[in-house]
Amino acid sequence: MKTPQNRIILASQSPRRAALLREAGIPFEGVSPRFDEPSTENWQGSPAELAESFSYYKAASLAEDYPDRIILGADTVVALDNRIYGKPRDAADARRILSDLLGTTQDVITGVTLLHPATGRRMIRHDVTKVTMRLMTPDELDAYIAGGDWEGKAGAYGIQDTGDQFVTRVKGSWSNVVGLPIELVREMLGEFSGFGAQGSG
């Protein structure tokens, strides 16, 4: 049985990321990162670079507290024609985002960072999943906004919630769309330190 010292530190309080790690049998401890995501409006790089950068800053914000642990940071964005869509500010912003994304195929990108502060080791990668959404009727959009499932989700939808009724195709990692590409995380942990996280089934 893994001791607490063997558990990675997940720099997130996202229940979705926590659930994915638990389902994958990867031992972890969730801790809120001390990183407030800035506006992406003036970002000059690619969406993937932004997701990787934010994932690193989340992990690095906990480095002093957990120098001898492997810290996992992740950040998810949605991109359409290189335009970045993060978490909506409010219902009106969610409506704006969905109005842009509905009826399109967009990229869901999650940046993933592994950091071991004591040795300075770090690994930063990202995964991309293509998601195709159908159009919503005005009544469907109103009901979805009123339901609040857009809150706290990049692109204003959660495929694991009612948002999946508007998704017609997912090409790539499903867990990436939820918020953490487990396949990539396993690969990175295996390469990073021989952590060797084993699945639960």
Catalytic residue annotation = 75
Cα–Cα distance, 105 to 101 (Å, whole number) = 8
What's the residue count for the chain?
201
Cβ distance 126 to 111 under 8 Å? yes
Cα–Cα distance, 156 to 152 (Å, whole number) = 8
Tokens of 192: 């990073």
Cα–Cα distance list, 19 to 10, 29, 51, 160 (Å): 12, 12, 21, 11
Return the residue matching tokens 């396949």.
183
Cα–Cα distance, 156 to 2 (Å, whole number) = 37
User: For residue 114, which of 157, 164, 56, 72 has the smallest C-alpha distance?
Assistant: 72
Cβ distance 48 to 124 under 8 Å? no
Cα–Cα distance, 69 to 161 (Å, whole number) = 32
